[in-house]
Amino acid sequence: MKLRYFFFIIFFLSLAAGKAQPTNARLAADNKETKHDSIRFSLLTCAAGEEIYSLFGHTAIRYENYTQGIDWVFNYGVFDFDTPNFVLRFALGETDYQLGINDYQSFAAQYFQTGRDVWQQELNLCPEEKEKLAALLKENYKPQNRVYRYNFFYDNCATRPRDLIEKAIEGSIQYATDMHTTDTGIAFRDILRTYSKDHPWSRLGMDLCMGAKADLPISRRTMMFVPFYLREYFGQAQIKDNKGVLRPLILEETKILDTHNTPHDNNSLAPTPQQLAWVLLILVNTVTVYGCMRRKSLWGIDLILFLAAGVAGCILTFLALFSQHPAVSPNYLLFVFHPLHLLCLPCMLKKVRKGRLSRYMMANLVVLTFFILLWAVIPQRFDFTVLPLALCLLVRSVSNLTIYKTTR
């Protein structure tokens, strides 16, 4: 009898053990799912700043792990002004940026202090995609991988997060529109002018350095070098997994940092470069007329104007020939500002001072006349500040011819 009870007990224990096994398996699966649910990846888009390198905003990836108490921001926009020959390397297109990691509180404090709002787009990733993205970021942050050659248009703080997120997707990202066609009607120059419109001196500097290629239409994917375009196209995109199932790329978008900052009006009272250029033209015309009436060359004006134009031409020539920056060559502004102004300056001034005809002035007169007449058909758009500056040089060339003829 006791033996019978013993077998009954063994039988019920076996049943209990058999039922417990799937329960434990489910518990392990639930724990794994909970682990991934405690991880969140988001794309951060930061508002523009006042410095020239921050005019186009900024992009970063936020990684939150609630179980481990982690809240990190992966930032591909770290650079060091103290790097030897930083300015020269930047002009040559040889600037190195790197991936940095900040805790979110420090990141937010920095942007709050500079009055820059931040938007967060939570990525709708499955557990496998979260794991893959975390691994990619970890790999990128290794000392041998974190530094990269920065390219403003094609490889920057916005394109790197985009490419990494696309790589982590189990399937593909389906954007709301064709991202590769160039029928957008938008060129690099349009974007540069749009985001620097409240900073006229920075806008002029960038506009002068950009050549004819900056006026070619670009694709929407290329436009994503600007953080705000990346944010817009990500907000409309969907993920198509390997089974063909679609889901939104972005779960939710929120403004997580609102500084209530009012953009600074840089156009309030300060004169713009174009206004100053027209004032300069008026002064040059006035002084030139006076000099022609008195039959005086006033060669000091030529020294200042052609010296400045020659220095500007050396900078543009250097960029066109040696810089790795895209879209800086060819630059048709070299018909107005070029190094020959410097090379021929001594000989030209010698003839101008003696009231003799300068062949260089005659050549400059012809070139600038054709440049202004063909302004509308040259395959490059110019800032209107260039027009009064070119006219200043043209007027001085005309004055040399006028004085030469009146003194014969």
Q: Packing angle between helix 359-373 and helix 345-353, nearest 10 degrees? A: 110
Distance, in Å, from the CA atom of 394 to the CA atom of 364, rounded to the nearest integer, reads: 7
- In this prediction, residue 165 carries a pLDDT of 98
Query: Between vectors from CA 115 to CA 113 and to CA 119, what angle results, nearest 5°?
Result: 110
- In this prediction, residue 80 carries a pLDDT of 76
- In this prediction, residue 150 carries a pLDDT of 92
Sheet holding 118-123, edge to edge: 147-149, 96-103, 70-78, 58-65, 39-46, 118-123, 250-257
Answer positive or negative: Cα dihedral of 86, 88, 90, 92.
Answer: negative
- In this prediction, residue 44 carries a pLDDT of 98
Across the chain, which has 408 residues, the per-10-residue mean pLDDT values are 40 37 37 62 96 92 95 92 73 88 96 96 96 96 94 95 97 95 95 95 95 97 97 97 95 94 65 96 96 91 97 96 91 97 96 92 96 96 97 96 84
Contact 108, 74 (CB under 8 A): no
SS (H, E, C) the chain: CHHHHHHHHHHHHHHHHHHHHHHHHHHHHHHHHHHHHCEEEEEEEECCCCCHHHCCCEEEEEEEECCCCEEEEEEEEECCCCCCCHHHHHHHCCCEEEEEEEEHHHHHHHHHHCCCCEEEEEECCCHHHHHHHHHHHHHHCCCCCCEEECECCCECCCHHHHHHHHHHCCEEEECCCCCCCCCCCCEHHHHHHHHCCCCHHHHHHHHHHCCHHHHCECCHHHHCCCHHHHHHHHHCCEEEECCCCEEECEEEEEEEECCCCCCCCCCCCCCCHHHHHHHHHHHHHHHHHHHHHHCCCCHHHHHHHHHHHHHHHHHHHHHHHHCCCCCCCCCHHHHCCCCHHHHCHHHHHHHHHCCCCCHHHHHHHHHHHHHHHCCCCCCCCCCCCHHHHHHHHHHHHHHHHHHHHHCC
Distance, in Å, from the CA atom of 347 to the CA atom of 363, rounded to the nearest integer, reads: 14
Distance, in Å, from the CA atom of 185 to the CA atom of 3, rounded to the nearest integer, reads: 91
Distance, in Å, from the CA atom of 127 to the CA atom of 124, rounded to the nearest integer, reads: 10
- Provide the token pair at 231: 């944010």
Contacts of 48 (CB under 8 A, 6+ apart): 54, 55, 56, 57, 116, 195
- In this prediction, residue 279 carries a pLDDT of 98
Report pTM.
Answer: 0.85
- In this prediction, residue 2 carries a pLDDT of 43
Q: Which of 261, 259, 228 is nearest to 58 (CA)?
A: 228
- In this prediction, residue 264 carries a pLDDT of 57
